[in-house]
Copies of this chain bind each other. A is one copy, B any other.
């Protein structure tokens, strides 16, 4: 038995998220089905991140165990012939001894795209959150800087999360204007449930003047989710990259 690691890109529009469920097709389900068609064996595929319905990924990392003799680097080509065009395996390789896509994760980078114009974009309908009010990008950039570092992100967490601690470390939070879009890039060691979407909704609240410029500091202080911005809709979010430790970490978050 050997362990194979996959880098997977997907358009989440037509899926009920990453994780298997009864009511909707999922990315995990499509990958497991493709692997079954390829190898003839039902095999569990584990993803580093359980992205929600409508959320996209450029660099989801997954792993699975197999007895198949297919060379590791050929799995990408072989699986893609069994997958719909909105899911593509970008790379496949032999995983290190004991590698686990979730437990070995050392960090993740997400992007969140806001389309900031009078009317929504047809071409970015499933890739962005339409905000028609003018956004003050400099206010957003200043508030974003408050997020960087190690903080208690309890106020940035949807109810229903199961994390033992709500302390997380963000290494980078950037806000950039690219054509008609405002793009938020967030990189950190780990994320609470809906954390990036609450960050995006809160920064937009600062940018359109609905929320005070020090709202991030207030949220850290009060741990009160209710004073922050809305949870931005899923379609603006992309899991850009997952980072991994070189060996099994001594701790698991």
Interface residues of A (CB under 8 A from B): 9-11, 56, 58, 76-77, 80, 85-91, 117-123, 125-127, 238
Residue from A10, A58, A77, A119 with most neighbouring chain B CB atoms (10 Å): A119
CA distance A77 to B121 in the complex (A): 13
The 5 closest A-B pairs by CB, nearest first: A85-B125, A88-B122, A9-B122, A10-B122, A11-B122
- What residue in chain B is nearest A127 (Cβ atoms)? B123
Contact of A85 among B11, B58, B120 (CB under 8 A): B120
9 more CB-based (< 8 A) A-B contacts, given A9-B121, A80-B119, A91-B119: A11-B123, A56-B123, A58-B123, A85-B125, A88-B119, A88-B120, A89-B119, A90-B117, A123-B127
Oligomer: number of copies = 2
Least distance between A149 CB and chain B CB atoms (Å)? 30
- What residue in chain B is nearest A126 (Cβ atoms)? B85
**Pair A88/B58 contact, Cβ less than 8 Å:** no
